[in-house]
Amino acid sequence: MGSVQQFVGLDYHDEVVQVCVMDSAGKMLENRACQNDASEIIAIVTPHGQKVRGAIEACCGAANLAEELILRAGWSIDLAHPGYVARLKQSPDKHDFGDARLLADLVRVGYLPKVWLAPENIRELRRVVRYRQQLTKERRNCKLQIRGLLRDGRVPKPGVQAWTMKWRRWLEVAPQIHGKMRWVIDRQLRRLQFLEKEIRIVERQLAQMIKEDPAAQKLLTVQGIGLVTAATLRAEIGHFARFRTGKQLSRFCGLSPRNASSGQRQADAGLIRAGNPELRAVLIEAAHRLKRFDPRWRQLALEMRLRGKPANVITAAVANRWLRGLYHVMCALETAC
């Protein structure tokens, strides 16, 4: 019994997990709910065999449970893409019993749409990187709200660039800002100062986290790549070698043009709508820097501009080609390490 392969589908929830055990012939041996605890899951599955392959849909907390089952029970657990799993359903009904059974069956027949299970150090880095992204969004919103208040009060512009030190000093003492507008803006400025301080603290934490990471340190040596870009690439991409080609990596990051051809019509439809939007934004920002400082990409941008390409297309093309070249550099480094 211990050497017979068993297939397990885990439908994850905060408090309970639906566990379905299936044999190689597709016969369902068990399908019931238990507490969200690795020990209880192991106790349900172990009587049917020790050799287990399982799947759990990627969601908040799923990676931790998968890693715990791998370490404690020695099982082979994969994360499944929830969107693609839903498309493979043959029924409009939604229930935990059927979801767990579907996952077990997909593992059994080898059709499971997998998601990469990042190691713990990458998941920790992602938490900090995404916290910084949240802070920068709040900072941007705070600045927009202040500018909106100034427009609403028809406050004349001071003739200096916004958000410079001189502009901020004017904002603190401008006589045109009074009453409740002054009260709100002063509170917004205090909030903005807190956010900027917190962002600096987070960036120091990021620098400490990637200090001993060879891949992140290699990224920092690339022209145009700073701390935030290196940490974001390391956190969101993880291992470059998990992709088969540079093109596949570029599509993962949402930098490849989407083909929209049909019949005699051959066309592109802009960048593919995939990947982490924050990761794509960081890569586009890096491309803007590359066009300014790297002769190779500056020349490419000039050639495309002469061919009549718009600026956003040029920037996306630079980001796409640069990332595909970076793929080979990072794969070589990961192989050496």
- Residue 86 or residue 3, greater confidence: 86
pLDDT of residue 253: 92
pLDDT the model gives residue 266: 62
Residues 255-281 have a mean pLDDT of 76
Report whether 240 contacts 334 (CB < 8 A). Answer: yes
The pLDDT score that the predictor gives to residue 92 is 81
pLDDT digits (tens, 9 = 90+) for 209-256: 999 999 999 999 988 789 999 999 999 999 999 999 999 999 999 888
pLDDT(299) > 90: yes
pLDDT of amino acid 2: 57
Planar angle of CA 249, 251, 292, nearest 5 degrees: 80
**Cα 163 to Cα 19, 104, 166, 180, distances in angstroms:** 55, 55, 8, 22
Among the listed residues 169, 290, 165, the one whose alpha carbon sits nearest the alpha carbon of residue 225 = 290
Helix H or strand E encompassing 5: strand 5-12
- Tokens representing 152 are 């609403």
**Which has more pLDDT, 282 or 223?**
282
| Choice between 116 and 4, residue whose per-residue pLDDT is larger | 116
Quick one: pLDDT band at residue 27, thresholds 50, 70, 90? very high
CB 274 within 8 A of CB 254: yes
299-to-101, 250, 303, 306, 326 alpha-carbon distances in Å? 55, 21, 6, 11, 18
Torsion sign, CA atoms 249, 254, 257, 262: positive
Q: What is the mean pLDDT of residues 268-294?
A: 86
Which phi and psi (to 5°) does residue 58 adopt? -65, 125
**DSSP result, 193-255:** HHHHHHHHHHHHHHHHHTTT-HHHHHHHTSTT--HHHHHHHHHHH--GGGSSSHHHHHHHTT-
The secondary structure of the chain in percent helix, strand, coil, rounded to multiples of 5, reads 60, 15, 25
Q: Is the pLDDT at 171 greater than 70, yes or no?
A: yes
Q: Give the residue-averaged pLDDT of 148-157.
A: 93
- CA–CA dist 196, 163 (Å, integer): 13
Nearest Cα neighbor of 118 from 128, 110, 106, 126 is 126
The 10s digit of each residue's pLDDT in 44-67 is 999 998 899 999 999 999 999 999
Cβ-Cβ contacts under 8 Å for 47 (sequence gap 6 or more): none
pLDDT band at residue 262 using 50, 70 and 90 as cut-offs = low
Q: How far is CA 67 from CA 28, 54, 76, 262, 280, in A?
A: 25, 12, 10, 44, 28
| Confidence class for position 90, pLDDT limits 50, 70, 90 | confident
Q: Among 11-25, 222-236, 261-275, whose mean pLDDT is lowest?
A: 261-275
CA terminus-to-terminus distance, the chain = 39
Fold of 5-115: Nucleotidyltransferase; domain 5 (3.30.420)
pLDDT of residue 1: 52
Q: Each residue of 94-149: pLDDT tens digit?
A: 899 999 999 999 999 999 999 999 999 999 999 999 999 999 999 999 999 999 99
Q: In whole numbers, what is the pLDDT of the chain averaged over residues?
A: 92
CA–CA distance, 314 with 110 (Å, rounded to integer): 40
